[in-house]
Structure 1
Amino acid sequence: MSKVSYYTAEGLKKLREELKQLKDVERVKASNAIAEARDKGDLSENAEYDAAKEAQGMLEMRISKLEDQLAGARVIDESQMDTSKILVLSKVKIKNQNNGIEMNYTLVADGEADLAAGKISVNSPIGQGLLGKSVGDVAEISVPSGIIKFDIVEISR
């Protein structure tokens, strides 16, 4: 049974496009690579054939994983969400109590996380620590170096 994950419409579209690319293009390439390697002779000593089969196995595993993700994927209706608490798709401004640095993040599903774009997973330590908090709350987040305290400055959608 697949785990339910929440995505933006854009994130879900990217997931579907990646699956389509893997099935329609990459699968054909993998089959062709196996056929070419098979034509080169003795399969027991054919490293190219073994590599092509292994690549195909990895591809099929990725396709299976994406299909499982899509089976449990749900699109979030942002208009129905409470803006007083931090939830999935919340845009938050937090301030580190130790050094005073303010950071802006958007909490997203695992598949959409991109730290360079300011998108962190709700399942990351920071994401978990922020969920359910309101403006003015202090989030104490456990990281390998200890506990970091963040002030919740702003929440938006």
Structure 2
Amino acid sequence: MERVPITKEGYEVLKKELVHLKSVERPENIKAIEEARAHGDLSENAEFEAAKDRQGFIEARINELGYKLGNADIIDPDKLPKDRAVFGCSVVLENVDTGEDVEYQLVGPDESNIEEGRISVSSPLGKAIIGKQPGQEVILQAPGGKRCYELVEIL
């Protein structure tokens, strides 16, 4: 079984979603199925079909979250060395062409959110950053061409 790195915060978000699906979404959906069944002929009952489709989605997501939580390898960024970029750390990159600084936290695929400054270690930029030390160049082959950054600081 492959262990998937995740921060404690990311783990808690997935766990909260799983609890919500089991305690709120699933019971509401079961009720919706029962109400749709009460309307009679199931062969032409759109509410019943929609509720059954929703049930399939809920159960699949519960299974997916259970798998992810079961294989999660919780990593505490505060206990990691700050001499090189590793999972969980935050980094400041300077765009060599523009001089603009950006800050990212390196997280697992389930936690990534570019708007919140969290990028996956399995993304092209995440892979380029991992293992680098302050002062080193980070080169990203982007669809629009090569981008160069300097790793300024590991937070």
TM-score bucket of the superposed structures, by smaller chain: over 0.9
Corresponding residue number in structure 1 for 2:32: 33
1:88-122 deviation per Cα after TM superposition (whole angstroms, max 9, x unaligned):
11111101112111111111112222222211111
Corresponding residue number in structure 2 for 1:66: 65
Corresponding residue number in structure 1 for 2:121: 122
Corresponding residue number in structure 2 for 1:135: 134
Corresponding residue number in structure 2 for 1:113: 112
3-state SS in 2 of match to 1:149: strand
Q: Which amino acid aligns with 1:151?
A: E
Q: Which amino acid aligns with 2:69?
A: L
Q: Structure 1 length as normaliser, TM-score?
A: 0.92
3-state SS in 1 of match to 2:10: helix
Residue pair 2:11, 2:72 contacting (<8 A) in 1 also: yes
**Counterparts of 2:131 and 2:67 in 1: how far apart (Å)?**
28
Q: Structure 2 length as normaliser, TM-score?
A: 0.94
Corresponding residue number in structure 1 for 2:52: 53
**Counterparts of 1:124 and 1:50 in 2: how far apart (Å)?**
38
Residue pair 2:77, 2:87 contacting (<8 A) in 1 also: no
Shift of 1:124: 1.5
Runs of 4+ in 1 over 3 A off after TM superposition: 77-80
Q: Which amino acid aligns with 1:141?
A: L
**Counterparts of 2:75 and 2:115 in 1: how far apart (Å)?**
23
Q: Structure 1 vs Structure 2: percent identity of aligned residues?
A: 39
Corresponding residue number in structure 2 for 1:90: 89
**Counterparts of 2:49 and 2:60 in 1: how far apart (Å)?**
17
**Counterparts of 1:69 and 1:50 in 2: how far apart (Å)?**
29
Shift of 1:79: 4.8
Q: Which amino acid aligns with 1:23?
A: K
Give 1:6-45 correspondences, 5 Å limit: 6-45=5-44
What residue ranges of structure 2 are gaps of 5+ in the alignment?
none
**Counterparts of 1:151 and 1:5 in 2: how far apart (Å)?**
28
Corresponding residue number in structure 2 for 1:149: 148
Q: Which amino acid aligns with 1:57?
A: G
Is 1:75 aligned to residue 78 of structure 2?
no
Shift of 1:66: 0.4
**Counterparts of 1:17 and 1:79 in 2: how far apart (Å)?**
23
Q: How big is the alpha-carbon RMSD for the aligned residues of Structure 1 and Structure 2?
A: 1.3
